[in-house]
Amino acid sequence: MEKYSYKKGILLGLILYAIGALLFIPAAETITFGYFLIALYIIASGLAFLETAANPYVTILGKAESSVQRLNFSQSFNGLALVVGPWLAGQFIFAGNEGTLETIEQKQQAANAVIFPYSLIAVVVLVVAGLFFLIKMPEPTKGAKLKFDKAIFKNSHLRNAVLAQLFYVGAQAGIWGITINFITTILPGTTNEMASKKYMAIGTLLFVIGRFFGTWLMTFVKNHKLLTLYGACASTLCLVGVFSGGLIAVYSILSINFFMSIMFPTIFALGVKDLGVQTKLGSSLIIMAIVGGALVPPLMGIIADNIGIQQAMFLPFLCFISVICFGWKGYEIKSLS
């Protein structure tokens, strides 16, 4: 992006996303798990470009004092897809594909179920890429050369944001990854299809509502205070999910989505605040913290398999403590001399 501009960075991200989605077709036809992983890796690479380009772009284009609220508002719309996603998964992927899938015919049917939705995703993403190609986009901080400078770590709020984002994304990925298993375990007789179409849809709807509501609240409540409050509520609900049972436990875990909603954009915007020409570098460091999503879920899986799926919620509880600390004091801008 430093060499070719934000716009081309966004375009590359969208193209990689579309390529990854289209690779689900040969992966499904060959029923090869490794091919699915390659497709997901390419999609994730595209998303990394998009996150690194679009997020700082939104914070820079406008008044600095409203950057956090602006980023929360723009990311509210990607949450709308989270409402549709679980329903589509239940409708097109899980439907008719429950059970052990022992025969090759059953496995092929289950694999083929991803072809239509991912092909549709690829088409939509390419249309969006075409629109970005046609429009003119101003290039912020033009002429500022990006280079790695360890002096950037003198900004304590950036260091704290990287850690908070790592733990938050870890908690989010862990919770989203285990929710269906959590529901089917706590509510015997509930199928994956039902858990995806009914319960996951509730959780993601709460996520979208929380994002829009949180964006509105930032008009009256300071963003770091709201982040602290949301973090405290999320950590409390994790404990409810551990120590309660039945629908109370299920709805507690689903309700965490409401309070996770503002965390990513708020941490991001507070972390790159007042970095000036180092904004691109700072944003890339915070995006790299998404690796938390690769670290926490396996640990939750180990706990779920060996101790219990409810006990696995202790891990996101600890992760949200870091978010609380960042919203309480960690966001403060301090530079070491």
Q: Is the pTM of this model over 0.75?
A: no
pLDDT band at residue 202, thresholds of 50, 70 and 90? confident
Residues 276-291: b if buried by 16+ CB within 10 A, e if exposed: eebbbbbbbbbbebbe
Banded model confidence at residue 90, pLDDT cuts 50, 70, 90: low
| Cα 77 to chain centroid, rounded | 13
Domains of the chain: 6-138+147-330 (1.20.1250.20)
Which residue do the tokens 């993601």 mark?
204
- SS3 of residue 220 by DSSP: coil
| 206: CB partners within 8 A, 6+ apart | 254, 255, 257, 258, 261
Burial (0-12, 13-18, 19+ Cβ within 10 Å), 136: exposed
Cα 71 to Cα 220: distance, rounded to the nearest angstrom: 16
- H or E, element range at 7: helix 6-22
pLDDT of 119-161, one tens digit each? 888 999 999 999 988 888 776 655 556 666 777 778 888 888 9
Average pLDDT, the chain: 83
The reported pLDDT for the residue numbered 129 is 92
Q: How far, in Å, CA of 281 to CA of 7, rounded?
A: 17
Q: Which residues make Cβ contacts (< 8 Å) with residue 85, sequence separation at least 6?
A: 204
Structure confidence at residue 300 as a pLDDT band (50, 70, 90): very high
The total of other beta-carbon atoms located within 10 Å of residue 34's CB is 9
Residues 226 and 161: their CA atoms lie apart, in Å, by 16
Determine the Cα–Cα distance for residues 293 and 139; give it in Å rounded to an integer.
31
